Amino acid sequence: MELPYELEELVLGCLIGDTSALRNCSLTCRRFTPISQKMLFARVEFSLCDEHIHRQPERFRSLILSSPHIANLVTGVSIIDNRYSIMDPAIQFHGDTHLPECLPILINLRNLSLESKGFSMLPWIPVSSRMRGTLESIFWSVTNISLYRIVDVPLPVFARCITLESLSLEFVSFIKGIPPKKPTNDIPDNARIRLKSLRLTLPDQGLHDVAKWFTDSACPLDISGLLKLSATMTLEYYDHGNVAKLLDTCAQSLEIFCFSPTFKGEPHKQKIQRIFCPKYIPPLQLGSTRRR
């Protein structure tokens, strides 16, 4: 007796995260194959290390060329630079030939993550022009972008993300350390990209500059409808990252707010409360504070 497709999907859904079990299920029964493949390839991770920097992209390229339907199953891609050798940043990703060919084929790609977990942070500019162009070309269709330990990112690239809903910037620096100069004309509200979620983990100077950019009417990203906001500061700045200005902009819609400030010495309730006094949110009632 055959079970309804929906029940089979629920049963196999219990194996999400267990790659080996899902792979075995895809070989066990023809009815299990499409369900298992959908779960196996929903998120693809490319871990680039010194010894095998091109092996994973090359194997994935061969797979989607032999089984084109696999490309339609991919909704999320993580590109992780795990190299621990000390190298000239100008040659990083210059040998990548397979990823630029693979990524544009993933027509259902919605989540993109670019991370550096190796010895050094990954500079945006020295990434090969072909790879950089590929990333920027797929920005228009993704809804979630996450950057981790990427340096010299040009803020204007996010203007191409017309479907962007969630943005995460952790330990990221921007070209010259400041946002781009304000254009001569403001961008109409109906032409701006409305974010729903924003996560920032930056030094206070970087957070301050990014907050100024996000709250500028010339910024292509609109945070007035944010539902989730997370701000973490790694170094203290005179205005605590301009977080109050961010809150003023999105206070009417905000549902979840996480804040990790940095203080010299013991934090004081009065000092924290002065930061959070946006006009649409009542003063926070703080209990106890402690240093970590």
Look up the pTM and report it: 0.80
Give 239-281 pLDDT, tens digit per residue. Answer: 565 788 888 888 888 888 888 776 555 555 555 555 554 444 4
Helices 5-13, 32-40: axis angle to 10 degrees equals 40
Using alpha carbons, select from 128, 129, 127, 124 the residue that is nearest to residue 156: 124
* pLDDT tens sequence across 201-252: 988 778 888 888 898 888 889 999 999 999 888 766 555 657 888 888 888 8
- Express each pLDDT in 79-137 by its tens digit: 888 876 655 554 555 445 678 888 888 999 999 999 988 777 888 876 677 887 888 88
Q: Is 203 left (phi over 0), alpha (psi -120 to 50) or beta?
A: beta
Q: How many CB atoms lie within 10 A of CB 75?
A: 18
Best mean pLDDT range from 41-50, 162-171, 175-184: 162-171
pLDDT category, 28, cuts 50, 70, 90? Answer: confident
- What is the residue whose two structure tokens read 């990083």? 92
Model confidence at 285, pLDDT cuts 50, 70, 90, reads very low
